[in-house]
Amino acid sequence: MCGETEVTVQAGLEPCDPHKTPVLIIGQQKHLAQLSYSDIACKLKSRVTQEIWNHGVKSLQPSPTDTVSLYLNLCSVAALPTKVSRHNTESRAHSITKIVRSQTVAADEEYIVLVCERSSAYASVCAAARAYPLYSRKSSVLKSKRRQKVIIEVVLSGSTSTTLDDDDIRTMKAAIYGLRLAARIVDTPANEMTTIEFLKEIREVGKKLDIVPLVYEGEELRKMGMGGLYGVGKAASTPPVLAVLSHRPEGATKRFAWVGKGIVYDTGGLSMKTKTTMPGMKRDCGGAAAVLGAFYHAVTCGFKEDLCAIFCLAENAVGPDATKPDDIHKLYSGRTVEINNTDAEGRLVLGDGVAFALQDKCCDVIVDMATLTGAQATATGKYHAAILTNCPEMEECCVQAGRSSGELNHPLVYTPELHFHEFASAVADMKNSAADRNNAASSCAGLFIGAQLGFDYPGKWLHIDMASPVCMGERATGYGSSLLPVLFGEYTESQLLKSLAPKLPKIEHISKNNNKNDDVDNNGDMEPVRSATGKSELQDNDYPVHKKSRVQ
């Protein structure tokens, strides 16, 4: 696209003249004070004297942030909040993004200098890059031949800090690409980002990684038994799609699946949204976009285990073929679902996605990510995603990874025995929307997805509802694209990701034989869930393409 901004990162400082190349220096006041004038002089040239630099840093009074101009509006120093609470990130990532957005001067080339401790460098770089979105349809941008370049430079502070090495820089560049890709997809309106166009984005990433995606679409989904994904997307002008990118390195002993909700537009279906709640629903593909960015990031950084990225793509449209309230769909898990709210569609497509991860890919760890519920903002706010998991250790690790990556999250209550009865149906195995939406609505929505695996699923399941963090104001954040590579960083070759990654609980490979796939019935008791076909394997005369994808 014409007028596109290139964002890159490098270690150390490159000499420049702020009159020609603007400079924004950001850090905590204590870290800025540790910089001597000689440390930063190459960025200031003769435009800023030592006296002005010292006076500028001393005059900063962050409350919560503060910025002082050192030379016209072309060279500034900004202080981050002095303190953060235990549920925030030490990097102050959100403040970094806001400062960069407000202080950037949009020159042909400009520098962002981040002064931070090594543990905060990754999140700080991601936060700065987040301030430069890729998507625009402004006439002035489309006509422009100008290409802006932003160079993020990292100066490590602290007595134990060393400079970033080439491996660190490669990891950060992969993170920048992944989050900006995810944000661009989310920012793109549905008249451009249809399911077919999203599929092109998946194929493009696959091409970069030398992976050919596995694709099922339209009527093929119905024949496979994916009643959730097919039912949600069948009324749209472009078909629903299930796409899978599979990374299978030699020596892998574990299988991971990241499943993303990719509703390219959500009208609410026949349970239609209002004129005030429908705008912005182009962002309902944020989970799938994040999974795509995260998959690129992780594989580029040498992910050492089997990793599947599963994309559940559909448009929840209104039309003669649209799913109606009272319809009953059979999901890939074998469960039947009475539709009482067509605007609770994300859990239907993800239900099929996670069941596919279990039944066809036999995954030991399944993560689903989605802009799932408006109630998420009430539960955990606009900065923290809401997480739900069957593993308490995974819950702690995800929160830790959120603080390390700058993509925050906080746990929801996990009590299937108290909440799953909200989906009771007189005519089907369950309804798709809770009877009492004041009873832990975000938890209930997540439990619907988990129920398609079975609440005694022997592997690790993690649900991430990022409905609010998907955007900041009117711009997408690319949330999730950095969180997942950090959460599973110990399984990559990147030393930077390993240093940030939490110690995950022991993961054992599950087999089809020990997968009982049990579930909770409408009364809170345990009852078995059938496979999608009622058989352990498809027969030769049943959908041979689907059979080929089964793990033997």
**Is residue 90 domain-shared with residue 208, that is, in the same domain?**
no
What is the C-alpha separation between 41 and 284, in angstroms, rounded? Answer: 46
Residue 257, pLDDT > 50, answer yes
Please indicate, yes or no, if residue 508 is contained in any of the structural domains: no
**Is residue 339 domain-shared with residue 195, that is, in the same domain?**
yes
Please indicate, yes or no, if residue 544 is contained in any of the structural domains: no
Q: What is the mean pLDDT of residues 294-312?
A: 98
Please indicate, yes or no, if residue 205 is contained in any of the structural domains: yes
Last residue of a domain, one of 164, 189, 206: 164
Q: What is the pLDDT of residue 512?
A: 58
Last residue of a domain, one of 132, 164, 196: 164
Residue 523, pLDDT > 60, answer no
Instruction: Determine the residue type at 361.
Output: K
Q: What is the pLDDT of residue 46?
A: 87
What is the C-alpha separation between 539 and 446, in angstroms, rounded? Answer: 33
- In this structure, what DSSP letter does residue 394 have? H
What is the C-alpha separation between 218 and 238, in angstroms, rounded? Answer: 9
**Is residue 212 domain-shared with residue 270, that is, in the same domain?**
yes
Q: Write the pLDDT tens digit of every residue in 138-170.
A: 988 888 877 899 999 999 987 556 789 999 999
**Is residue 185 domain-shared with residue 73, that is, in the same domain?**
no
- Written as six digits, the tokens of 267 are 């009208």
Residue 533, pLDDT > 50, answer no
Q: How confident is the model at residue 226 (pLDDT cuts 50, 70, 90)?
A: very high
DSSP character string of 473-486? TTEE--TTTTHHHH
Please indicate, yes or no, if residue 334 is contained in any of the structural domains: yes
- In this structure, what DSSP letter does residue 377 have? H
Instruction: Report which of residues 532 and 494 the model is more confident about.
Output: 494
**Is residue 362 domain-shared with residue 295, that is, in the same domain?**
yes
Q: Write the pLDDT tens digit of every residue in 432-455.
A: 999 998 999 999 999 999 999 999
Q: Is the dihedral of CA 522, 523, 524, 527 positive or negative?
A: negative
Least confident segment among 100-109, 258-267, 377-386: 100-109
Strands, DSSP E only, in 158-240? 214-217
Please indicate, yes or no, if residue 428 is contained in any of the structural domains: yes
**Is residue 120 domain-shared with residue 234, that is, in the same domain?**
no
**Contact between residue 551 and residue 248 where contact means Cβ atoms under 8 Å apart:** no
What is the C-alpha separation between 74 and 21, in angstroms, rounded? Answer: 8
Tally Cβ neighbours within 10 Å of residue 541.
Answer: 7
Least confident segment among 125-129, 426-430, 498-502, 520-524: 520-524
**Is residue 236 domain-shared with residue 309, that is, in the same domain?**
yes
**Is residue 220 domain-shared with residue 328, that is, in the same domain?**
yes
Q: What is the pLDDT of residue 159?
A: 57
Question: SS3 of 103, please?
Answer: helix
Residue 296, pLDDT > 80, answer yes
Q: How confident is the model at residue 1 (pLDDT cuts 50, 70, 90)?
A: very low
Q: What is the pLDDT of residue 470?
A: 98
Looking up residue 248, the CATH number of its domain turns out to be 3.40.630.10
Integer-rounded Cα Rg, in Å, for the chain is 24
**Alpha helix (H) residue ranges in 268-307:** 286-300
Give me the chain's average pLDDT, please. 91
**Is residue 249 domain-shared with residue 368, that is, in the same domain?**
yes
Please indicate, yes or no, if residue 521 is contained in any of the structural domains: no
Q: What is the pLDDT of residue 105?
A: 86
Last residue of a domain, one of 500, 524, 545: 500
Residue 72, pLDDT > 60, answer yes
Looking up residue 48, the CATH number of its domain turns out to be 3.40.50.10590
Q: What is the pLDDT of residue 57?
A: 96
Q: Write the pLDDT tens digit of every residue in 35-68.
A: 999 999 999 988 999 999 999 999 999 999 999 9
Q: What percent of the chain has pLDDT over 90?
A: 87
**Is residue 320 domain-shared with residue 439, that is, in the same domain?**
yes
Cα–Cα separations (whole angstroms), residue 475 to 31, 361, 409:
30, 35, 19
Q: Write the pLDDT tens digit of every residue in 10-42.
A: 998 999 999 999 999 999 999 999 999 999 999
CB proximity list for 31: less than 8 A, separation 6 or greater:
115, 116, 117, 157, 158
Please indicate, yes or no, if residue 451 is contained in any of the structural domains: yes
**Is residue 190 domain-shared with residue 118, that is, in the same domain?**
no
- Written as six digits, the tokens of 142 are 């489309």
Instruction: Determine the residue type at 472.
Output: M
What is the C-alpha separation between 259 and 306, in angstroms, rounded? Answer: 14
Q: What is the pLDDT of residue 163?
A: 85
* Distance, C-alpha 474 to centroid of its chain: 17
Q: What is the pLDDT of residue 182?
A: 98
| Residue-number span of the structural domain to which 316 is assigned | 175-500
What is the C-alpha separation between 211 and 532, in angstroms, rounded? Answer: 27
**Contact between residue 95 and residue 86 where contact means Cβ atoms under 8 Å apart:** no
Q: What is the mean pLDDT of residues 173-191?
A: 98
Please indicate, yes or no, if residue 351 is contained in any of the structural domains: yes
Residue 136, pLDDT > 90, answer yes
**Is residue 112 domain-shared with residue 15, that is, in the same domain?**
yes
Residue 513, pLDDT > 80, answer no
Q: What is the pLDDT of residue 160?
A: 58
Domains in the chain: how many in total? 2
Q: What is the mean pLDDT of residues 117-132?
A: 97
Q: How confident is the model at residue 524 (pLDDT cuts 50, 70, 90)?
A: very low
CA atoms within a 13 Å half-sphere pointing along the CA-CB vector of 415: 7
Q: Active-site residue numbers?
A: 273, 347
Q: How confident is the model at residue 3 (pLDDT cuts 50, 70, 90)?
A: low
Instruction: Determine the residue type at 321.
Output: D
